[in-house]
Amino acid sequence: MSTPTVADAPQKGFFGHPRGLLTLFFTEMWERFSYYGMRAILAYYLYYAVSEGGLGIPESTALSVVGVYGASVYMTGVLGGWLADRVVGAQRAVLYGGVIIMLGHIGLALPGGMTTVLIGLVLLVIGTGLLKPNVSGLVGGLYSEQDDRRDAGFSIYYMGINLGAFIAPFVVGTLGEKVNWHLGFGAAAVGMALGLIQYTLGRKNLGSAGLVPVNPLPAEHKGRVLGRAGGIALGVVVVLVALSATGMMGLDGLVNLISIISAVLPIIYFVVMLSSKEITKVERDRLIAYIPLFLATALFFLLFEQQPNTLANLAEADTDLNVLGFAVPASWFQSVNPLAIILLAPVMAGLWMKLGARQPSTPQKFVGGLLFVGVSFLWVVLSKFAAGDDGKHLPIMLALVFVIMTVGELMLSPVGLSATTKLAPKVFTSQMMGLYFLAPAMGQGLGAQAVKLYSVENQQLYFSIVGIATIGCAVLLLVSARVIKRYMHGVN
């Protein structure tokens, strides 16, 4: 989403950047702390035996639930951006989202079994959908389009994201695994509360950026549209929670339903855009070129977002966690990716700058992203082979899986956002950003089905098949790159 640039936000006060950047840096740092901290222990809490403080649900179902949770967050992000643009404004969307996120973590912290878990996860999905897409828009709203501090400002902001994600497993993970699961979820709630406190205190530094909707609903339609939308949303949530809590649908049924929605929504989006009479032939060609890039992004996230489920399970169940006499909490492996981003992002940015006009095209960078994430899965197979059938993964070998994934992420993820804006038809500029976020949703929704085929016992077969298939898709994309470039009509 976009927010209007404002002159009434203090323009100095944070390393030469607008003072509001400090507010948004810590808001997002604490929100990501709560998100990644909770995610680091969620699967363990779901499948650990009741005698160990967990819920004791089947391991396969637990890993799938983590997958569809991630998919749901991305799908509600589309609605969160719309609500901010048309109804409440970005500033209030971030505030409301943060409060709902905190309540979601409190729900998980309460020992109410599957009922409080479902309520907590639903609140987290709604809250994150409100906060996540809009806090980034507020960062952009602090700068004019011509401000040469803009890119550096976003770099500082993204450092906050990764700092929160890096610290979280050490705090939330350690408390959850070593002391009490609910205490861990409670720590995530405290993190979000700290973020809300500093956001409220520093909100004045944002000026009028995102204070009001940029494209408000007409007053005469507002009540009717909101009432209808709110009623439908509430009805869907109540029905789903009731069906799951009473056992009429069951967790597996809920997982399947969300997986289907995550796959169908993008198809509807593409059909509507391609059939529109308001786009030109060149724009239609560019939209066709975007389809394989979209599918590549979905496939990338199908693998990448197995960090909190299959890879978390490997860390807990099949890794030698004894390092120099210290029992390393399995959740600590979730810190490897954000640490690798902090260390490798400047290296990758420098590489693209050095290559200049010789750097790979957009489709070729997508090929690199798929290649590295596929190789990371094959690295799991190599790691297990090196350990022997009766041995466990070495911590350094498993950590390298996350590092290899990160290289792929840095090749594909930033490029995907850029390509989306460049290939978007003019009449669908904002909706294309919504479409982009449905790619990781689709990947995680389908990934929730894929992880049902995984177990510790068949890990080598599972990671081999998924890894080789992904590399095969990377080769197919490479072969198609020239045709895709032709349909992009000059967009690099």
From 200, 216, 232, give the residue that closes a domain: 216
How many separate domains does the chain show? Answer: 2
Confidence of residue 247 (pLDDT cuts 50, 70, 90): low
Assess if residue 44 is contained within a domain: yes
298 shares a domain with 201: no
Kindly report, residue by residue over 377-419, the tens digit of the pLDDT.
999 999 999 998 779 999 999 999 999 999 999 999 888 877 8
- 235 is a domain residue: no
Does residue 171 share a domain with residue 289? no
- CB-based contact 30:191 (threshold 8 Å): yes
**Domain identity same for 173 and 291:** no
Task: State the CB neighbour count (10 A cutoff) for residue 103.
Answer: 17
Same domain? 209 vs 287: no
> Same domain, yes or no, for 481 and 379?
yes
Same domain, yes or no: 300 and 413: yes
In the listed set 160, 182, 216, which residue is the last one of a domain according to the structure? Answer: 216
Share of the chain above pLDDT 70, in %: 96
The last residue of one of the domains, among 216, 243, 267, is 216
Structure tokens at 152: 């550096």
For residue 223, tell me if it sits in a domain: no
Domain for residue 152, yes or no?
Answer: yes
How far is 38 from 351, CA to CA, in rounded Å? 34
Q: What is the DSSP letter of 144?
A: -
Angstrom distance (rounded) from CA 400 to CA 406: 10
In a domain, 249, yes or no: no
How many Å apart are CA 374 and CA 303, to the nearest integer? 8
CA distance 492 to 489: 9
Cβ atoms of 81 and 133 within 8 Å: the answer is yes
Instruction: Note the pTM of the prediction, 2 decimals.
Output: 0.90
Strand 326-327 relative to strand 322-323, pairing = antiparallel
Tell me the torsion sign for CA atoms 356, 358, 361, 366: negative
Instruction: Identify whether residues 185 and 294 lie together within a single domain.
Output: no
Residue 242 lies in a domain: no
Domain ranges, residue 142: 1-216
CA 413 to chain centre: 11
| The CA-based dihedral angle spanning residues 378, 397, 440, 91, taken in that order and rounded to the nearest 10 degrees | -170
pLDDT band at 86 (very low <50, low <70, confident <90, very high): confident
Calpha distance 61→306 (Å, rounded): 14
Distance CA 1, CA 204 (A): 21
Q: Are residues 189 and 92 in the same domain?
A: yes
- Give residue 322's pLDDT band: very low, low, confident or very high (50, 70, 90): very high
Which of residues 79 and 30 earns the better pLDDT score?
30
Domain CATH for 22: 1.20.1250.20
